[in-house]
Structure formats: C-alpha cells, structure tokens
Amino acid sequence: MQDPFFGKSVVFICEHTEDGAMGLIVNHPFKKKDTKYLFTNFYEKNIFKSISTLYFGGPVLIEAGIVLHSSEYKKKETIQISDDFSLTGHKYIQKDFNTKKYPEFYKLILGHAGWTKGQLEGEIEQGDWFLQPTTKNFIFNTPDEIMWNHATKDLGIQTTQITGVGGIA
C-alpha cells in the first residue's frame, strides 16, 4: 500500500463489527523527539517523563490519545479487547504514569484508523491488508523499524515481490 498513512503499517484491530472497524497503527512512532511537545495542550507535560515514545495511530482524531496496554492494568474506564490487550484513554491513565503505577506493557498512541461498514472487508479483498493473530510480545517488544517486515515474513510473504498496488488475481 502506498498510502502515506498506512504504507508498511502494522495495524492492531481493536474493534470490528458489522458497522465498521477501528484500529491503531502500532509501528509508527513520531520521528522527532520534540514532536510530542506539539501536543502539550492536550496532555499534562509530566506524562512525557514516563513515556519516551509517542505513536501515530492513524489519521482520525489525531488530538485524542489512547493507551494500548497489557490487560493486567484495569481502571473503571479501561476497555478490555482480549485476554492480553486493553485500551485506556490518556486522561484516565496519565496520573498513574506519573506515579509509576502503569501497565507492564503499553504504547501511547495519538489518533486511530477507522473504516465504515464493509470498507475494511473490501480493502482486504483487494489485497491491501494481510491479517494474522498477534501476541503481546510482538506488539510491545518487536522493534518498530522491523515490525512490518517481521509480520509479512511470518505470513510467508517476500516483501521484494510486493508492488504496492492492490488487486484481485
């Protein structure tokens, strides 16, 4: 995919219903260290003392922060996605980061990806996306710069043979 937002992206699908889907890009950290200071209007500055990497989660609601994290951490506002993964809005978790009572594994993500009814299914049929199950270890411990290559290799795909143009053969 040659889309500037989604090229070589690993997207964690958080919700997929008949009405649409929502996901988070988990392998695109903001490149410049000072980029996070652009968002200080939305977050307490202290959160950046605990979280060194800020991720671009997608082009929808870029000003909204969400923390994808391991499920042992729970607050009233936490949404459990699976046995291993949960989501908590930045407002509800940031004080815990400042007091070092945060989840074992986490990524602070700004924005998300969204698909309308049938849109994701259509993109999958066109070959725009490859699907596979994931693990906590892969999402939180695989270096960002090799995550996409690792995921495609696990599927048996040789990335040198990908054209960047989807379609049906």
Does residue 168 fall inside a structural domain? no
Does residue 1 fall inside a structural domain? no
Q: Tell the burial category of 131 from Cβ atoms under 10 Å away from its Cβ (0-12, 13-18, 19+).
A: exposed
Task: Look up the CATH number of the domain holding residue 69.
Answer: 3.40.1740.10
Does residue 147 fall inside a structural domain? yes
Does residue 47 fall inside a structural domain? yes
- Contact (CB, 8 A) for 110 and 57: yes
pLDDT digits (tens, 9 = 90+) for 28-52: 998 765 565 555 554 555 566 667 7
- The CA distance from 93 to 73, in Å, is 10
Q: So what's the pLDDT on residue 129?
A: 87
Does residue 6 fall inside a structural domain? no
pTM: 0.83
Instruction: Extract the residue ranges of the chain whose pLDDT is less than 50.
Output: 1, 42, 167-169
Does residue 53 fall inside a structural domain? yes
Query: What is the domain extent for residue 154?
Result: 11-161
pLDDT digits (tens, 9 = 90+) for 118-140: 999 999 898 888 888 899 999 99
Does residue 4 fall inside a structural domain? no
**Domain count within the chain:** 1
Neighbours of 100 (CB within 10 A): 7
Does residue 2 fall inside a structural domain? no
In this structure, what DSSP letter does residue 132 have?
Answer: -
Structural tokens at position 51: 């979280």
